[in-house]
Amino acid sequence: MSQDILINWSPQETRVAVVEQGAVQEVHLERTLERGLVGNIYLGKVSRVLPGMQSAFIDIGLDRAAFLHVADLMPNIQAKHAPARPTEPEAGGASAPKVLTPNPVLPIERQIFEGQALMVQVLKDPIGTKGARLTAQISIAGRLLVFLPQDNHVGVSQKIPPAQREALRQRVTQLAALPDGSPSGGFILRTNAEDASDEELRDDIAYLRKTWLRIKEAATRQPPATLLHEDLNLMQRVLRDLVGAQTQSIRIDSREQHGLLTGFAQEFMPDTVAKLQHYSGERPIFDLFHIDDDIARALSRRVDLKSGGYLVIDQTEALTTVDVNTGGFVGARNFDDTVFRTNLEAAQAIARQLRLRNLGGIVIVDFIDMTREDHREAVLTEFRKQLARDRVKTMIGGFSQLGLVEMTRKRTRESLAHMLSEPCEACGGKGEVKTARSVCYDILREILREARAFNPREFRVVASPKVVELFLDEERAHLAGLSDFIGKPISLQAESSMNQEQYDIVLL
């Protein structure tokens, strides 16, 4: 299915929408202040070696020196001084070859010295007063592979089924082999490489090697404390990960960013250059396909279907639940047809919402109960068909005894709701607040407790206007009765800045 990719750029935020047949399927966001430094590669300068901590401080050009522990030194540094030892084979892979790795036994002061230039990569961003955490064991991530230029081992993600690991290992070993027999570097197959073709793997290998060659060349030209390689920004990752044969166009609303992305594409992905377009229309690019409206709807619990039915989507820490309802759909000749047609439309909508909202983990779908087996099978078939379009790995079961469909979708990044929203201050993320009457009764109980512990001249209740209004009207008798019982006057003060559950009891 053909797709268009729209990129909306501003200095503070980049937004990307993947559109298929006029409907938004995916939304990706990146905010400038939240990018961080993890993955960046620097030519650092050793500013201080700490033998007591077996660590060193490295100047990489930031406000604070970064931190490097002896365990994160480059293998080839340690290999010059220490005998190698074989690692244990992978679990479940008895035939996997043993790999020689250095034995990190030498103290750090015998491996590096102050003033030395050292290529390092950021493992952890600076936090508070602590500098960044570094490693000298460089790795460069691609779409399918992770390149380890200082190693020659080919590894496979443990999440890939054991039966497929050795075959994948052999394929990458052959594809990565250099004609002259020189060291080819090491690779780790990521989980999404499980079903990759040889051409896709070969393209990723070429991209990673070209990136490493550019980093090495920069290291010979640049002075210490210089950034050699910045982890790809969102627009570059779009070219690497999202663009394929089905992509018709990639439209960017910034002339400057269009030029930068074209330069990146010409060097690393020349096949994508022809698809890049600068959008200069008067209307904002996201208005073309009503993408902002779709994003707003993706933050709502309810999703309306064209037929009149609707979905209710609830995201929790452990799982996501989707409830399908017929709503006002009465267009079919009988109830069974109404339910069946609603569930078919819901299957399509749910698959799209999972992509749009980037919901991961366990998903429980409660379709409307269907009495006919052929209807259930048709809905499942349609659901699987729609999920097959998802670039993120999904697994789906059949209908359970309770009529629920269980599935999983791999977590790749934060959901759209978690990126754009935060828990409500009024309800604490519950999605609801106590009624004004419940708060009134909480206040009455609290005054009674305070009266038993203290002996003030008067109690003053500071609460939201709605709670105060209820005390002055329907709950007036209960408030007066409590005042008589404790023998103290109770006054009321409305505070518009308080939400319905907030209140304060002042002792005067």
Report pLDDT digits (tens) over 22-74. 889 999 999 888 888 889 999 999 999 999 999 999 999 988 999 999 999 86
Per the CB < 8 A criterion, the answer to whether 145 and 211 are in contact is no
238-266: b (≥16 Cβ within 10 Å) or e: bbbebbeeebeebbbbbeebbeebeebbe
> Bridge-partner residues for 3, per DSSP?
247
Residue 139 has a pLDDT of: 93
DSSP state of 34: G
**Joined tokens for residue 251:** 């439209």
DSSP labels, 481-502: HHHHHHTS-EEEEE-TTS-TT-
Q: What is the pTM of this model?
A: 0.71
| Spatial distance between the Cα atoms of 185 and 178, rounded to a whole number of angstroms | 10
Residue of 146, 147, 122, 136 lying closest to 40 (CA atoms): 122
- The predicted structure's pLDDT at residue 183: 66
3-state secondary structure of 348: helix
- Is the distance from CB of 63 to CB of 131 less than 8 angstroms? no
382-432 per-position pLDDT tens digit? 999 999 888 888 899 989 988 899 999 988 778 888 888 888 877 777 778
Q: Do residues 187 and 147 make contact, with C-beta atoms less than 8 angstroms apart? A: yes
pLDDT, tens digit (0-9, with 9 covering 90-100), for 278-295: 999 888 999 888 899 989
Can you state the percent helix, strand and coil of the chain, rounding each to 5?
35, 25, 40
Please state, rounded to an integer, the average pLDDT across all residues of the chain.
86
Q: Which two tokens stand for residue 99?
A: 């790999």
Domain range 3-35+235-291, CATH architecture:
2-Layer Sandwich (3.30)
Q: Which of 126-130, 136-140, 306-310 has the highest mean pLDDT?
A: 136-140
Domain boundaries 436-507, corresponding CATH code:
3.40.1260.20
User: What pLDDT is recorded for position 94?
Assistant: 37
Q: In what order do the strands lie in the sheet with 405-409?
A: 302-304, 310-315, 319-325, 361-366, 405-409, 394-399
> Which amino acid, 392?
V
Are the C-beta atoms of 356 and 24 separated by less than 8 Å?
yes
Residue closest to 357 by CA, chosen among 432, 286, 400, 411: 411
Using one digit for the tens of pLDDT, what is the confidence trace for 485-495? 999 999 999 99
Q: Domain-by-domain residue ranges, the chain?
A: 3-35+235-291, 43-230, 299-420, 436-507
DSSP bridge pairs for 50: 55
Q: Which fold has domain 43-230?
A: OB fold (Dihydrolipoamide Acetyltransferase, E2P) (2.40.50)
Q: What are residue 364's DSSP bridge partners?
A: 321, 406
Q: Which of 256, 315, 329, 346 is CA-nearest to residue 10?
A: 256
